[in-house]
């Protein structure tokens, strides 16, 4: 297995484009570089052997030594590219602190102590503001090492600050251990089928063992990490009814006791999103919108560095809430606006999420031609979409394409899409469809409607529809998943699809 090829394969489509441009910029420094050529060969669908790569790169005279030197250079480009991207995307300012620290170290070595100490003080101030305790430890050690300079701070004061920081850094380390232990013990409890009821006990036991109860109540970064673990456990069980009050209680306690400083904005936004999403999943749409409004205010009064992360999340969740409050037209306006990219440019995953969501909102309005245009506008193969979004997302898209063709009066096209979905399911997961066996049962009912549009009115159809094995939990999911069941039910009762969808959401258990 080629480790460099494996590493490059983890890049998203957008990352691959950016990295290709990054290499091009490096090439300007030295003409004739073959980095780009090796990069293209490693990304080729066919996995070339070393001999084949050498032959393609050096067709006139194979040169293995030059080939391995080229690989090392390309790997350095990968490392530099990832470091640059991390600095651009880092919400915690750690990369900026590292940059200042690196500059200070260089200035000391270059014999410019006054500038070095000025830079080091800037790094310390930035690290303190953003609670970068491990980096502060490095900064203080460097200050101690350079304390004989005429520009240095008082050594005793540096040692005092270093000792205070050591306590906070130790607390951070203990928190990291606690997070890993909680995650591990939750996995063990999940195997026994008791993850939900075990969570509170596991959490309190580990926090008490590592003396962290108070730290999690006053440190937004630690609270966020703990809530992220709790959310993962609850997502596995779809137990939003238990998780949402828990995270609300923790958030309000933090807000009341300590508040959220500017340096904590990312954690505050993340916690508000968790709450809003949990409320949406438990059908408390109005309350979800209230917390989304808090998120919006916090987002737009802070630095723009968090826009790319949270503007799409905020917009998608707000649109989903509106859809269940009979404000679907506003949902469409929100998604159309965000797709224009005026406030933030969507990454490929968010582009796909927005387009599929917009298609379903149009479908709810009965605008089937527009739904079809939006789905066609995705313009990517199912294989590419699966790499970006996963198999379930592709099933949602394919089912939507099938239903819209049927609504547009194209039963042959709908049947073709149905057969394609069945084929993929059976090829990937076996004749019974594995975890997606309910989709095969659903498709069987749709096939009956394609063959005979009057099928939903015939004896037995409603009973088979209500017996779909996994649509009860799906009724508790988002607009996409519930849409499919609502469409079938609307056919059996001969009523507008959107009305049936809203009734299902109102009657589904939280």
Contact 182, 222 (CB under 8 A): no
Which two tokens mark 423? 């084929």
Phi and psi at 148, nearest 5°, equal -80, 0
pLDDT of residue 476: 43
Find the Cα–Cα–Cα–Cα dihedral 232, 234, 240, 242, rounded to 10°: -130
Which two tokens mark 135? 């980096």
Nearest to 260 by CA among 290, 302, 292, 229: 302
pLDDT of residue 116: 92
Find the Cα–Cα–Cα–Cα dihedral 123, 128, 134, 140, rounded to 10°: 60
* Measured distance CA(486)–CA(497) in Å, rounded: 6
pLDDT of residue 171: 81
pLDDT of residue 235: 64
pLDDT of residue 504: 84
* Measured distance CA(146)–CA(166) in Å, rounded: 19
* Measured distance CA(420)–CA(222) in Å, rounded: 46
* Measured distance CA(237)–CA(278) in Å, rounded: 13
pTM for this prediction: 0.71
pLDDT per residue as tens, the chain (510 positions):
677 888 887 777 777 888 888 888 776 554 447 888 888 888 887 888 898 888 888 888 888 998 998 898 888 888 888 877 766 666 556 778 888 898 999 999 999 999 999 999 999 998 888 788 889 999 999 999 999 999 999 999 999 999 999 988 888 888 788 878 877 877 776 665 554 555 667 777 777 777 776 666 677 877 887 787 777 766 655 667 777 888 898 888 888 877 887 778 888 999 999 999 989 988 899 999 999 999 999 998 876 778 888 999 999 999 999 999 999 999 999 999 999 887 788 888 899 999 999 999 999 999 999 999 999 998 888 888 888 888 888 888 999 999 999 999 999 999 999 999 899 888 887 877 776 777 888 899 999 999 999 999 888 898 888 877 544 444 444 455 678 888 999 999 999 999 999 988 877 555
pLDDT of residue 481: 65
HEC profile of 44-100: CCCCCCHHHHHHHHCCCCCCHHHHHHHHHHHHHHHHHHHHHHHHHHCCCCHHHHHHH
Contact 18, 10 (CB under 8 A): no
Which two tokens mark 196? 């939900």
**Residue length of the chain:** 510
HEC profile of 405-446: HHHCCCHHHHHHHHHHHHHHHHHHHCCCCHHHHHHHHHHHHH
């Amino acid at each position: 297995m080629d480790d460099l090829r494996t590493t490059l394969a983890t890049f998203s489509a957008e990352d691959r484009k950016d990295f290709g441009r990054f290499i091009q910029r490096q090439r300007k420094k030295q003409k004739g570089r073959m980095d780009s050529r090796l990069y293209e060969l490693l990304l080729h669908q066919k996995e070339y052997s070393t001999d084949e790569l050498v032959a393609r790169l050096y067709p006139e005279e194979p040169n293995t030594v030059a080939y391995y030197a080229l690989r090392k250079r390309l790997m350095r480009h990968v490392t530099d590219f990832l470091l640059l991207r991390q600095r651009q995307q880092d919400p915690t300012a750690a990369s900026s602190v590292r940059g200042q620290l690196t500059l200070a170290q260089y200035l000391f070595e270059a014999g410019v102590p006054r500038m070095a100490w000025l830079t080091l003080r800037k790094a310390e101030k930035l690290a303190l503001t953003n609670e970068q305790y491990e980096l502060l430890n490095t900064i203080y050690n460097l200050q101690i090492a350079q304390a004989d300079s005429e520009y240095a701070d008082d050594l005793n004061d540096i040692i005092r600050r270093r000792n205070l920081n050591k306590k906070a850094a130790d607390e951070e380390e203990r928190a990291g251990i606690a997070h890993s232990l909680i995650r591990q013990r939750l996995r063990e409890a999940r195997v026994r089928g008791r993850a939900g009821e075990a969570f509170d006990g596991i959490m309190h036991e580990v926090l008490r063992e590592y003396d962290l109860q108070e730290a999690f109540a006053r440190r937004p970064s630690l609270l966020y990490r703990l809530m992220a673990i709790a959310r993962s456990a609850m997502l596995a069980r779809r137990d939003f009814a238990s998780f949402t009050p828990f995270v609300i209680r923790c958030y309000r306690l933090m807000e009341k006791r300590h508040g959220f400083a500017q340096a904590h904005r990312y954690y505050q936004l993340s916690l508000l999103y968790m709450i809003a999403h949990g409320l949406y999943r438990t059908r408390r749409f109005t309350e979800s919108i209230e917390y989304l409004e808090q998120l919006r205010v916090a987002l737009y009064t802070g630095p723009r560095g968090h826009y790319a992360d949270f503007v799409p999340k905020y917009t998608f969740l707000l649109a989903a809430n509106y859809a269940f409050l009979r404000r679907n037209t506003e949902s469409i306006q929100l998604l159309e606006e965000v797709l224009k990219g005026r406030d933030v440019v969507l990454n490929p995953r968010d582009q796909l999420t927005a387009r599929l969501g917009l298609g379903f909102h149009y479908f709810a309005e009965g605008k089937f031609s527009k739904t079809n245009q939006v789905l066609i506008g995705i313009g990517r193969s199912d294989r590419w979409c699966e790499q970006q979004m996963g198999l379930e997302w592709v099933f949602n898209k394919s089912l939507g394409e099938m239903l819209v063709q049927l609504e547009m009066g194209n039963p042959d096209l709908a049947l073709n899409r149905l057969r394609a979905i069945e084929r993929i399911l059976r090829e990937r997961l076996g004749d019974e469809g594995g975890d997606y066996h309910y989709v095969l049962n659903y498709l069987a009912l749709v096939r009956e409607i394609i063959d005979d549009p009057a099928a939903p009115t015939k004896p037995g159809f409603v009973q088979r529809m209500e017996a779909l094995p996994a649509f009860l939990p799906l009724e508790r999911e988002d607009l996409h998943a519930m849409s499919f069941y609502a469409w079938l039910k609307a056919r059996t009762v001969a009523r507008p699809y959107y009305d049936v969808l809203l009734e299902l959401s109102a009657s589904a258990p939280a």
